A and B are shown apart, each in its own frame.
Chain A
Amino acid sequence: MTVDVQQLLVKQEVEDFLYREAELLDERRFEEWLELFTDDVRYFMPMRRNVPADELAREFTREGLDVNWFDEGKDTLTRRVKQIRTGVHWAEQPPSRTCHMVSNVQVLSAAGDEVCVKSRFLLYRNRVETETDVLVGKREDVLRRVAGGFQIARRKIVLDQNVLLAKNLTFFF
Chain B
Amino acid sequence: MSLDGLVDVARGVISREIFVNESIYRQELEQVFGRAWLFIGHESQIPKPGDFQASFMGEESVILCRDRGGKIHVFLNSCRHRGMKVCRYDDGNTTEFLCPYHGWSYGTDGALVGVPFAKDAYGEQLDRSRWGLIEVAQMENYKGTIWATWDRDAPPFLDYLGGYKLYFDLLLDAWDGREGGTEVIGGIHKWLIPCNWKFPAENFSGDRYHGVSHRSVDMVGIGPSGKGRRDMQERNEARWLDVTFPDLGHSMIAFLRKHDSPIAPAYQDAPAVADYFRRCEEERTRRRGELWRLFGGPGTVFPNASPLARQPRTLAVWHPRGPHQTECWRIYLVDADAPPEVKDFLRHYYIRYSGPSGLTEQDDMENWNYAHAASRGTVARQHPYNYEMGLGRATESFEDHGLKLPGRIADVTVANASENNQRGFYTRWRQFMEAKSWADLKR
Contact = CB atoms under 8 A, between A and B. Distances in A.
Interface of A: 45, 47, 49-52, 55, 61-62, 64-72, 76, 79-80, 82-83, 86-91, 128, 131, 162-170
A62 B185 CA distance: 11
Interface string B202-218: 00000000001101110
Given A61-B186, A79-B221, 20 more contacts: A47-B190, A51-B90, A65-B186, A65-B347, A67-B186, A67-B189, A67-B332, A69-B357, A72-B352, A79-B359, A80-B359, A83-B216, A88-B216, A91-B365, A162-B90, A163-B192, A167-B193, A167-B356, A168-B356, A168-B366
A128 B373 CA distance: 12
Q: How large is the interface on B (under 10, 10 to 19, 20 to 34, 35 or more residues)?
A: 35 or more
B192 A90 contact: no
B370 interface: yes
Q: Which of A61, A86, A162, A168 has the most CB of B within 10 A?
A: A168
A169 B362 contact: yes
B89 A51 contact: yes
B90 A50 contact: yes
A169 B357 contact: yes
Nearest to B54: A50
A67 B185 contact: yes
Interface in B349-394: 350-352, 356-357, 359, 361-363, 365-367, 369-370
Given A72-B352, A76-B352, A66 B187 contact: yes
Contacts of B67: none
Contacts of A165: 191-192
Contacts of B351: 67-72
A91 B327 contact: no
29 contacts: A47-B188, A49-B89, A49-B90, A64-B344, A66-B186, A66-B347, A67-B187, A67-B347, A67-B351, A76-B222, A79-B221, A82-B219, A83-B217, A86-B220, A88-B212, A88-B215, A88-B216, A89-B217, A90-B366, A90-B367, A91-B366, A128-B370, A162-B90, A163-B327, A164-B190, A164-B356, A167-B194, A167-B366, A169-B362
Contacts of A87: 216
B348 interface: yes
Contact of A162 (B190, B221, B332): B190
Given A72-B352, A86-B216, A128-B370, A62 B363 contact: no
B83 interface: no
A69 B92 CA distance: 21
B187 A167 contact: no
B88 interface: yes
Nearest to B356: A168
Among A83, A86, A165, A169: residue with most chain B CB under 10 A: A83
Nearest to B213: A90
B377 to A, nearest CB: 14
A70 B188 contact: no
A67 B194 contact: no
B91 A49 contact: yes
A22 B187 CA distance: 30
Contacts of B357: 45, 69-70, 168-169
